[in-house]
Amino acid sequence: MVAGQRRWAQRLGGQSRFFVASVREAIENVDHDYTSGSIGRALFLLAVPMVLEMGMESIFVLVDIFFVSRLGSDAVAAVGLTEAALTLLYAVAIGLSMGATALVARRIGEGDRQAARATAGQVIWVGMAISVVIGILGVVFASDLLRLMGAETAVVLIGPGYTATMLGGSATILMLFLLNAVFRGAGNAVIAMRALWIANGINIVLDPCLIFGLGPFPELGVTGAAVATNIGRGIGVIYLIRCLSTDKAGFRLTSSDLRLQAGLLNRLLRVSVPGAIQFVIAMSSYVFLTRIVASYGSSAVAGLTIGIRIFAFTFLPAWGLGNAAATLVGQNLGAKQPERAEQSVWMAARWNAGFLVCVAATFVIAPGIFAAPFTQDPVVIDYVADCLRIVSLGYGFYAVGMIVTQAFNGAGDTDTPTIINLVCLWIVQLPLAWWLAQVVGWGPQGAFAAIAISDSLLAVVAVVVFRRGHWKTRTV
């Protein structure tokens, strides 16, 4: 028996050492070929830095709300309503990043690195142009935007500084998303991960300093959270630009890559615009859901805001796995290996479902534990608990739908998930949320239930369409 235990311990120790070595390899800046060899290994090497990257992105939203919650529910509501409006900016950023990842990954799979770099150059121009427009509008109409979102008077008084700063600094959001997408498409997810580490570290340090006026820093209240976030993201962008300008990243841009190229720009927009619309649909549905919940007061909005932030902490690492699947799909389609691309998707879906179902179980069993660090208001805690418990019932379906949707996007077929989102989120989710909340009388809980139902429906439809295989012949 002792000998058997010793063999078991040795085997376990060997597996542990292998896992640690694999993780170390994944987070080192090493060039890998993801179009050959073990699919599981390729997915793991890509997923680890992408999951860590998305984990860092989720920490952004949690850190801000953690400190702002100390200022009261009105401050949390200001952040929540601004974030609801910012979802449209995130939609544009994610849509453009999908186009960037798809085109760069396809060119890398084809072995055409010069075309991949030229695509990155067009991405930079598009991102800067959009950020200027959004920044100006956000600064000028900050107060009007909060009123439009249904903010109470107290929220309108304290919130415009936060709203104007976040929207005014939209360039940091867009460029961080887009440049990270370029590196992900090239298979160099480590650089993207490091950029988020840098940005998050700075944000975590500056948040309490600028919100509460610690030491020599001014006390800016809720606006301080926005200033800290923009500074952190901005320095992350500077790091990415530095990597693009050197051979350190294995993906060096030259001045010729930054020239505007009409044909390539049109191709990028052809893939990116439906992707942006796809996420405008998805995220604007959240805006309207927030508007429905806002009719029940600041406590309800704060509950939804904190609940969504907690979800983001689990969604974004799962999105990291989805991004890994998208890169594998793009590169393997470029290498003329569609079956390998499909196998990558189903493996990622299984991993993601296993992860999110475990997370959902904890939300259903003990949701209040997750709400307590963010608020001491018992009414808000109840709303957060209801949000976590109800929405997480659809996690298993959502896990698969997330991966399949990203696979479409990685193939450059952004039209299909856009149509699916339109049907499931606008035609189903929003009317259902209003009906359950207002007509049936479930209140905010009705909106939470509509999220779980529509996300589950989206996953079923996406899988059915994916199995038809039209995405394998998509050209970009």
Q: Encode pLDDT of 88-103 as tens digits.
A: 777 788 888 888 999 9
Token representation of residue 277? 């619309």
Q: Which of 166, 246, 242, 239 is nearest to 198 (CA)?
A: 239
- Tell whether 29 is covered by a domain: no
Q: Give the range of the structural domain holding residue 106, as residue numbers without chain letter.
A: 37-473
Both structure tokens of 264: 């390539």
Q: Please report whether residue 157 resides in a domain.
A: yes
Whether 148 is covered by a domain: the verdict is yes
What is the tally of structural domains in the chain? 1
Q: Cβ contacts of residue 234 below 8 Å, gap of 6+? A: 169, 172
222 close to 214: Cβ distance less than 8 angstroms: no
Q: Report yes or no: 80 and 290 within 8 Å, Cβ to Cβ.
A: yes
AA letter at 120? A
Does residue 6 lie within any of the structural domains? no
Please identify which residue in the block is written with the tokens 């009906």: 435
Q: What is the residue type of 186?
A: A
Distance CA 284, CA 260 (A): 31
What is the C-alpha separation between 184 and 192, in angstroms, rounded? 7
29-81 pLDDT tens trace = 667 778 888 888 888 888 888 877 776 766 766 787 788 888 887 888 888 78
User: Counting every residue, how long is the chain?
Assistant: 476
- What pLDDT does residue 92 have? 81
Instruction: Tell me if 457 is assigned to some domain.
Output: yes
In a domain, 464, yes or no: yes
Asked whether residue 295 is assigned to any structural domain, the reply reads: yes
- Torsion angle of C-alpha atoms 160, 163, 169, 171, degrees rounded to 10: -140
pLDDT of the residue at 353: 94
DSSP for residue 297 = -
In a domain, 367, yes or no: yes
pLDDT of residue 89: 79
Q: Collect the ranges in the chain with pLDDT lower than 50.
A: none
Q: What is the pLDDT of residue 338?
A: 93
Q: What is the pTM of this model?
A: 0.80
- Give the three-state DSSP class for 246: coil
Task: For residue 188, count other CB atoms closer than 10 A to its CB.
Answer: 23
Q: State the amino acid at position 450 in one-letter form.
A: A
**According to the model, what pLDDT value does residue 292 have?**
87
